[in-house]
Chains A and B, each alone.
Chain A
Amino acid sequence: MKFILMMNGSKADVEGYLSWNESDRQAHFEFLARFQRSLRESGEFVATQPLASPDEAKVVHAGANGIPATDGIFPEAKEFLLGYWIVEVASPERAYEIAGELSAGPGPAGVPTNMPIEVRRLVTPGSQGGQ
């Protein structure tokens, strides 16, 4: 079964993250690198993808004559996808376990972020999942 583990956050959450000091950020990167290595070693890794800052986000509608109508204004509360991991696991419980590990990653002063990770099953036929 394939699951996607999503990190979501508002623009305020992203600003909070950008205010972390260098050593806190470094510790978090090292945690993410170890996390990814362990998923590769267990054979559960499928793909991961970080997204650019929500500042650059646009919503696109089909306009008249097929011209795209773009809008960059979002509600303050909007949750933006910040990045995801796709894993292939034997059960939903295993996906939740992996998401729990991700949520336990270190934040400022090494305190676990406890950030919520949204876990969803993938249903794509012939799924490929990116890099």
Chain B
Amino acid sequence: MRFILMMNGTKADFAGYARWSKEDLQRNVAFMRAFSKELKDSGVFVSTEGLAFPDQAKTVRAGKDGEPVTDGVFPESKEFLAGYWIVDVESPDDAYKIAARLSAGPGPGGKPGKMPVEVRQVMSSHTDYGL
């Protein structure tokens, strides 16, 4: 079963992260690298991506004449995806265990960040939807 582990945050959360000290940021990045490597070594890794800060985010809708209409204004409460991992594991519980390890990653001063991680099963492909 494949699951996606998502880290989400509001713009305020991102602004808070941007204020971490260099040392705290480095510790967190080192943790993330080791985490990805561990997933690869244990054979459950499928993919990972990190997203640019939400201040560059746009919402796009189809306008008249097919011209895209973009908007960069979002509610304060909007959760933005910061990054994700996709893992291939035997059970939802295995995915939750991996998510908990991610959640325990170091925050300021090296204390566990206890960041919430959203876990969802992913379809194996669009063929599940008849594509």
Bound together, the chains give a CA A99 to CA B56 distance in angstroms of: 15
Task: Knowing A66-B100, A100-B63, A123-B50, say if A52 contacts B79 (CB, 8 Å).
Answer: no
Q: Is the CB of A96 closer than 8 A to any CB of chain B?
A: yes
A110 at the interface (CB under 8 A from B): no
Chain A residue at minimal CB-CB distance from B57: A120
Residues of A with C-beta under 8 A to B131 = 29, 32-33, 36
**A122, closest chain B residue (CB):** B49
Whether A130 is near chain B, meaning CB under 8 Å from some CB there, is: yes
What is the minimal beta-carbon distance from A49 to any residue of chain B, in angstroms?
5
Partner of A52, one of B112, B123, B126: B123
User: Whose C-beta in chain B lies nearest to the C-beta of A37?
Assistant: B131
| B120: contacting residue among A36, A57, A117, CB under 8 A | A57
Assuming the contacts A100-B63, A119-B60, A122-B51, asked whether A59 and B118 have C-beta atoms less than 8 A apart, the reply is yes
Contact A99–B121 (Cβ < 8 Å): no
B43 to chain A, nearest CB (A): 15
Q: Are A56 and B121 in contact (CB under 8 A)?
A: yes
Count of residues in A whose CB is under 8 Å from the partner chain: 58
Q: Tell me if A40 is interfacial: C-beta within 8 Å of chain B.
A: no
| Residues 54-113 of A at the B interface (beta carbon under 8 Å) | 54, 56-63, 66-70, 77-81, 86, 92, 96-97, 99-101, 103-104, 112
Q: What are 21 contact pairs spanning A and B, CB under 8 A?
A: A29-B130, A32-B126, A48-B126, A54-B120, A58-B92, A59-B116, A60-B5, A60-B99, A60-B103, A60-B117, A62-B100, A68-B103, A81-B81, A100-B68, A104-B66, A117-B59, A118-B57, A118-B58, A120-B56, A121-B56, A130-B46
Q: Which residues of A contact B (CB under 8 A)?
A: 4-6, 29, 32-33, 36, 47-52, 54, 56-63, 66-70, 77-81, 86, 92, 96-97, 99-101, 103-104, 112, 114-124, 127-131
What 5 A-B pairs have minimum CB-CB distances, sorted nearest first? A100-B68, A68-B100, A104-B62, A62-B104, A99-B60
